[in-house]
Amino acid sequence: MALHFTKDDEAILAGHKGMGAKMALRIVAETARLMSAPRLIPIASAHIDGALYHGDSGTLFAEKLVEGEAKVAVRSTLNVGALDLMGCSKQRLPPHERDMAKRMMRAYEKMGCEPSWTCSPYQAGHRPALGSDVAWGESNAVVFCNSVLGARTNRYGDFLDIACAIAGRAPDYGLHRTENRRARFVIDVSGLSEQLRRADIFYPVLGTWFGLEMTNDIGVVDGLQGFPNEDNLKAFGAASASSGGVGLFHIAGVTPEAPTVEAALQGQKPEKVIRVTIDMVLGALKRLSNASSEAIDAIAIGSPHLSLDETHALLTLLNGRKVARPFFACTGRHVLRAIEADGTRSKLESLGITIVADTCVVVTPMLPEGGGVLMTNSGKFAHYATGNTGYTVQYGSLKDCVESAVSGHVIRDGGLWQ
């Protein structure tokens, strides 16, 4: 199936709008061909995950676009980079890597992207409307955008996100189409205790189970009506997009395309109904920890980046006590400004917390050298920490992380899981 090009497209492909615009449209069109998309559709916004330094190649690509005078055509926020440009925390990048990472971040800013530098753009004022088509990258942002906001995006990888932002268009396939957003599985969690369904720690754990079970299929969760807040949905989605490739989930009575289970199924019968037992949840919980030692060397929270509420919860749980181990709280500039204004930042720092802005501990070297045991409440950190940092993981709730940070060894409240 040949892709239809408009007159404007043909002018761009002939290079009349600059080499950067031409390269971007060629990348979008080649992806459309690969994915058998019949056409390109206009997009309302983009979230760009491509500005994180993984090596020189990504910097060279961004600079080639800048050199070709490419500019984004729609609102485009930026995901994390490899450096804390706000200067709250220090990264151990060698001089060459530091220079290339900074050049990369600057190149994306030059193309007109907003310097949001966060993996929680949806909590930094970037909330596309229900039903609108967008091109978002970063797996947790994608799943939140689709599931919680009901805007429509595929899982845009690095490079395609910026290419779509420059072209202002995206290939029409996958989750842009209503019929592909239908849930095929029903996940019934009503058999789990209310206490568990009310607990923050339940959501990344259930998300981990969901990602393993669904891989990249779509399921509707039933039995959570009235329970999760937005930060719980954020944690659930991030975990499901780490253990699996989930791009969209529905939660009946909670997410916008699932006022009911039947609505999420689009009137069709589910292929399978899974009744989640406590043993299934415990299996996912166990998987999140892989450390053999109860002594911990560092604590990290904030993947996805902490909301303002979550920074306040951290301060409340610390209750004036100093941490005995390095403790990293990762967030975005949108929250940094707020916690500077309300005094939370200075209080957290006086208790030994390192605030991390613009980046996070698993994407750039910043945990103490030599490795060890990392404690976290993030399903995503738990999934990626060992591969990316060498640290093994002890998983727990935010409260567990705080108590363990104060004492230096793992303290967990196990009562919840009875």
Partner 1 sequence: MKAHVLIAGEARGEVLALSHPISFWGGVDPRTGDIIDARHPERGKNIGGKILALPGMIGSSSAAAVMLELIHAGKAPAALIMPEPDAILLLGVIVAHEMEWPNCPAFALDKTSQKTLHGKTIHIASDGEIKI
Output the smallest distance, CB 35 to partner 1, in A. 6
Rounded-to-integer distance, Cα 336 and Cα 332, Å = 6
Output the smallest distance, CB 339 to partner 1, in A. 27
Of 234, 78, 68, 210, residue with least CA distance to 148: 234
Task: Give 172 or 188: the residue with its C-beta nearer to partner 1.
Answer: 172
Output the smallest distance, CB 141 to partner 1, in A. 9
Of 300, 291, 225, residue with least CA distance to 258: 225
Rounded-to-integer distance, Cα 130 and Cα 151, Å = 5
Task: Give 223 or 247: the residue with its C-beta nearer to partner 1.
Answer: 247
Amino acid (one-letter) located at 250: H
The length of the chain in residues reads 418
Output the smallest distance, CB 104 to partner 1, in A. 10
Output the smallest distance, CB 97 to partner 1, in A. 11
Task: Give 92 or 322: the residue with its C-beta nearer to partner 1.
Answer: 92
Rounded-to-integer distance, Cα 19 and Cα 13, Å = 9
Of 238, 202, 228, residue with least CA distance to 122: 238
Rounded-to-integer distance, Cα 356 and Cα 125, Å = 20
3-state helix, strand, coil in the chain (%, to 5): 40, 15, 40
Task: Give 100 or 348: the residue with its C-beta nearer to partner 1.
Answer: 100
Task: Give 135 or 196: the residue with its C-beta nearer to partner 1.
Answer: 135
Output the smallest distance, CB 377 to partner 1, in A. 19
Rounded-to-integer distance, Cα 405 and Cα 74, Å = 43
Measure the CA dihedral 51/53/56/57, to 10°. -50
Which structure tokens are listed for 285?
Answer: 């919980």
Task: Give 30 or 262: the residue with its C-beta nearer to partner 1.
Answer: 30
Give me the residues that bind partner 1 (CB under 8 A), please: 23, 26-27, 30-31, 34-35, 49-50, 52, 54-58, 60-61, 64, 137-139, 142, 154-161, 171, 174, 211, 215-216, 241-245, 287, 290, 362, 383-384, 386-388, 392
Of 403, 100, 409, 378, residue with least CA distance to 240: 378
Task: Give the 3-state secondary structure of residue 277.
Answer: coil
Task: Give 163 or 351: the residue with its C-beta nearer to partner 1.
Answer: 163
Output the smallest distance, CB 387 to partner 1, in A. 4
Output the smallest distance, CB 95 to partner 1, in A. 17
Task: Give 22 or 333: the residue with its C-beta nearer to partner 1.
Answer: 22
Output the smallest distance, CB 49 to partner 1, in A. 5
Owner of token pair 């103490």: 368
Task: Give 385 or 405: the residue with its C-beta nearer to partner 1.
Answer: 385
Measure the CA dihedral 16/19/25/29, to 10°. 100
Rounded-to-integer distance, Cα 288 and Cα 141, Å = 21
Q: Where are any strands of DSSP class E within 345-397?
A: 353-357, 373-376, 392-395
Which structure tokens are listed for 175?
Answer: 């989750």
